[in-house]
Amino acid sequence: MPTKIEKDAISGTDTTGHEWDGLKELNTPLPRWWLYTFYATIVFAAVWVVLYPAIPIRGLTGVLGYTAREAGTAELAEARTRAEPMMARLRAATPAQIAADPDLRAYAIAGGRVAFANNCAACHGAGGQGATGGYPTLADDDWLWGGTLDAIRTTITHGIRSPDDEEARTSVMPRFLGDGMLTRPQIHDVAQHVLGLSGLATDQAAAQRGAAVFAENCVSCHGDQGEGNAELGAARLNDRIWLNGPDTRAIEAFIANPRLGVMPAFGQRLDAATINMLAVYVHSLGGGR
């Protein structure tokens, strides 16, 4: 229960009337500067909710009519206006011309890095390292459809097996098991032969049997020595670079029922300048030819 309010003998401050185990609570007022600051924040908040979007005045924009969306749109338009001269140059040039011009190349690498992060990194990785499961590495020298600047630009523009672009790069590998073209033992043998092209075969007898199967079914696309064919999008098989991993099961599964990936046609999503920047950036990752 509160006791009577009295003045503390030591500090000279009134007590609140509360006491616990002989300890009395002092009624020490807050500093005036703190109170004035607190009152000022209340006034500031009241003015703020009227001026900016908080109270439904003029829709939901406040007295000033400000919205972050409109402000961002205006800033974006301003940035595009500033960048347009350089973007026009990038739009008019070929990737080879951009790569040969130091100023254009520097701008393209910087812009391409951003465009890559926004459009490509989800599948190919932040550094173009790719991922097992059908996402090619872009930082090595192994290319399904060619690693020149023009080839990379074409791939970005039209995509791979994109249903939205008639000019999309398209290659078809038979379902050798699903379509009854090979038996499972034959698939095992040809997988060992494919591994043997890179010196990785673990069953030499199977690899020798698989050579004949390979010659009858695979050479027309992948070449006698597994050198591949970029014009057909046929993978190179003798370089120890694998789209789905170098283990026997993965290779057998792909031969039996291949999973053919799809890449969007970015020519319908991005402008020519951005596509050129992407081509130059991807080419610069280390594997461009």
Q: 157 is written with which tokens?
A: 């523009």
| pLDDT on residue 70 | 84
Instruction: Render 27-72 in DSSP notation, one character per residue.
Output: -PPPPHHHHHHHHHHHHHHHHHHHHSBTB-STTTTTTTT--HHHHH
Amino acid at 94: T
233-238 long-range contacts, Cβ below 8 Å, gap at least 24?
Answer: 233/144, 233/145, 233/160, 233/169, 233/170, 233/171, 234/144, 234/171, 235/144, 236/142, 237/194, 237/197, 237/198, 238/197, 238/198
Residue 108's Cα: distance from chain center in Å?
17
What pLDDT is stored for residue 4 in this prediction? Answer: 77
For 211, other C-beta atoms within 10 Å of its C-beta total: 16
Nearest to 276 by CA among 145, 90, 134, 104: 90
263 is in an annotated binding site: yes
What's the pLDDT at 141?
Answer: 85
Residue 225 CA from chain centroid, whole number: 35
Residues with pLDDT less than 50, the chain = none
181 is in an annotated binding site: no
Taking the model in full, what pTM does it have? Answer: 0.75
Task: Write b or e for each residue in 32-51: b if 16 or more Cβ atoms lie within 10 A of its Cβ, otherwise e.
Answer: eeeeeeeeeeeeeeeeeeeb
Contact yes or no for 155/169 (Cβ under 8 A) = yes
Q: Is 221 annotated as a binding residue?
A: yes
222: annotated binding-site residue?
Answer: yes
- Could you tell me the domains of the chain? 70-168+263-286 (1.10.760.10), 184-256 (1.10.760.10)
- Which pLDDT score is estimated for 69? 83
Using CB atoms within 10 Å of the CB of residue 3, give its burial: 0 to 12 exposed, 13 to 18 middle, 19+ buried: exposed
At 3 the pLDDT is: 62
Give 100-158 as a DSSP string: HSHHHHHHHHHHHHHHHHHHTHHHH-TTS--BTTTB--SSSS--SS--SHHHHHHHHHH
Strand, coil or helix: 16: strand
Residue 177 and residue 183: Cα distance in Å, rounded?
6
- Check if the beta carbon of residue 134 is closer than 8 Å to that of residue 261: yes
- Asked if residue 120 belongs to a known ligand binding site, the reply is yes
